Amino acid sequence: MDIYHKILKKPITSIHNRQLRIEVLLLSVVIGIWGGLSAVLLKNIAYYTHQWVTRGFDFGTGYYFYLGLPLIGLTLTVLFTSYVVKSKLSHGVSLVLHAISKRFGKIRSHNLYSSMVASVFTITFGGSMGFEAPIVLTGGAIGSFLGRKFHMNRKTIIILVGAGTSGALAGIFKAPIAATVFSLEILMIDLTMTSLIPILISAVTGATMAYFLMGNGVLFSIHLDQMYDVNNLPFYALLGIFTGFVSLYFNRTTFLIEDLMGKLKRQSDKILIGGITIGVIIFVFPSIYGEGYEFLRQLISGQGGNLINQSIFQPSERISHILILLLLIIIFKVIAMATTGASGGVGGIFAPSLFMGGVSGVFFAKVINLLPFVTVPEKNMGLVGMAGVMAGVMHAPLTGIFLVAEFTGSYQLFAPLIFTAIFSYLTISLCETHSIYTKRLAEKGELTTHHKDKAVLQMMRVSNLIETNVQTINKNANLGDLVQVLTNSERNIVAVVDDQNNFQGIIFMNDIRNIIFKPELYNTIRVDELMYMPEPLVNPNETMEDVAKKFQDTGNYNLPVIKDGKYIGFVSRARVFSQYRKLLREFSDE
């Protein structure tokens, strides 16, 4: 290294940084290959498992069997997660966000395969969720695993987690731009060249693997009968408002069902109630089974006449019957999806949100076309509606715009996509501050943001900053005992406790300076006469944002840390600030 330093006349640190960046770029390629292969493997396993599960009967003749399939799938999923993995796997994107916010990108290695296996059990047996979130978690786990394996720093591991999610998502959708935007918009990876290039490399590599192994076909290859008409922009704006309210229903219903199912103590009760509920719903509305992409393709392609035939209702072509059925599908799809997840199923909300968006778009178009002198293209509205619901549910308009544009293989609807996604996002933002992924984390104070100061504070933990070199003294001791303690103390503060180590207060040496050199008072003054209870106190489970606010509001330099009344130690302003500056430099380094 010294030879290179002399020849190039550049600092050794510059050479090290360049080598590190090369390693990161090479790892991004590996992560993209691994993520793309995982996506292809998951799609094929899911396809053949579904064919095996449904062999011998179909919705037209034997769909009574579907009443029991979700119960079997949930049972297999819970047995796998409880006894094989021994960990919860639901809400894969939220797990990645939590890992970035609170674990410096560390994701458990079993997520390299576990979420894929569990999601196959859940979805191929009828669970109304999608494979995208499990593959996102798998990709994130790939990036985390390789980052830790090659001893990367915390910032680089987080970037590799973002690269992993992008590579895997690009592989399952063949949409590298949308996958990149997803990491920046939803996972909230910083938009810098240091982070953007590895994510882009991984996304392109993952998509290339999918193209190489599965051909050039896209998820929704639909021929557009009508091109984009600028006169229809007001209707796309109205569609955005409508999908914004659909997204609000999506999120609120999901949280409500999760809360209701969370009140059940026994997992067996959740499986039983969830399995029966989902079974009944897909018995009445077979289109809600699993991801629902095939039904959605038929609907957007204009094969709406088959809708009634795919349910227990009598065949009908009447527009009123079609509209009622579409509305019921919108209502019950969310119930089936939320019940699947709350019952122990593993899957994501990508597919349900796209499904809801497509159905909502077609429903909206059919309603508009009932008006005199107005005609809007149902195919276009269905495709654009997918971006609208995704933008609202995930609070990610850019992801919705690029994802729909890429997996349809056409940018002809780019302007309508932008209109609808933005209006949907603005509509739901009036009612919901956080997305379906981030609300639970935000309530727990475990959500990182693009605001770098807040993000750094959220990565810090009180438990890692506790100082235990402050001496303690019993409240029943006298001044002489206190002087002896101060003689051996490194600090000018003493914590007062009782016989059970319950915190009683503190004593500052400056407050007793005038009496510590008076031996005649040593046996007459008790410690409990000199102490006082400081405010505020700190709990080790508090967020650093709360602790920083306490320092700011009080002006104190030291705050005692207490848990269940027991004294633990102190947290100092100097140490908090030092750790903050260290992390800020680390995560700001280009």
Tell me the CATH number at 324: 1.10.3080.10
Domain count, the chain: 3
pLDDT on residue 192: 75
496 occurs within a structural domain: yes
275 or 91, greater pLDDT: 275
406 and 510 co-located in one domain? no
Chain-centre distance of CA 90, in angstroms? 10
303 and 335 co-located in one domain? yes
192 or 398, greater pLDDT: 398
Single pTM value for the model = 0.77
**Residue with structure tokens 């080790």?**
540
CATH code, 564: 3.10.580.10
264 occurs within a structural domain: yes
Domain with 426, as residue range(s), is 232-452
205 occurs within a structural domain: yes
35 and 165 co-located in one domain? yes
503-508 and 493-497 strand pairing = antiparallel
User: DSSP letters along 145-165, please?
Assistant: HHHHHTT--HHHHHHHHHHHH
406 and 270 co-located in one domain? yes
Tokens at 297, concatenated: 């393709």
1 occurs within a structural domain: no
Could you tell me how many residues make up the chain? 590
Q: Which of 412-426, 498-512, 564-578 has the highest mean pLDDT?
A: 412-426
386 occurs within a structural domain: yes
pLDDT on residue 3: 39
* Distance of alpha carbon 278 from alpha carbon 281, whole angstroms: 5
Among the candidates 452, 476, 498, a domain finishes at: 452
414 and 468 co-located in one domain? no
Q: How confident is the model over 378-392, as pLDDT tens digits?
A: 888 999 999 999 999
475 and 435 co-located in one domain? no
415 and 476 co-located in one domain? no
pLDDT on residue 365: 93
* Amino acid at residue number 575: R
60 and 106 co-located in one domain? yes
pLDDT on residue 420: 94
178 and 236 co-located in one domain? no
Q: How confident is the model over 53-96, as pLDDT tens digits?
A: 876 555 444 566 778 889 999 999 999 998 898 887 767 788 88
Q: How confident is the model over 7-16, as pLDDT tens digits?
A: 334 443 443 4
Among the candidates 405, 431, 452, a domain finishes at: 452
Q: What is the DSSP letter of 503?
A: E
Query: What is the mean predicted confidence (pLDDT) over 301-314?
Result: 59
445 and 528 co-located in one domain? no
Asked whether the bond before 536 is cis by omega within 30 degrees of 0, the reply is yes
167 and 267 co-located in one domain? no
Looking at 89-103, 326-340, 351-365, which range is the least confident one? 89-103
* Distance of alpha carbon 65 from alpha carbon 241, whole angstroms: 39
4 occurs within a structural domain: no
* Distance of alpha carbon 34 from alpha carbon 405, whole angstroms: 25
220 occurs within a structural domain: no
Q: What is each CA distance from 395 to 208, 248, 276, 302, in whole angstroms?
A: 28, 11, 32, 29
CB 250 within 8 A of CB 331: no
pLDDT on residue 9: 41
> Pick from 106, 171, 105: which is nearest to 134 by CA?
171
153 and 245 co-located in one domain? no
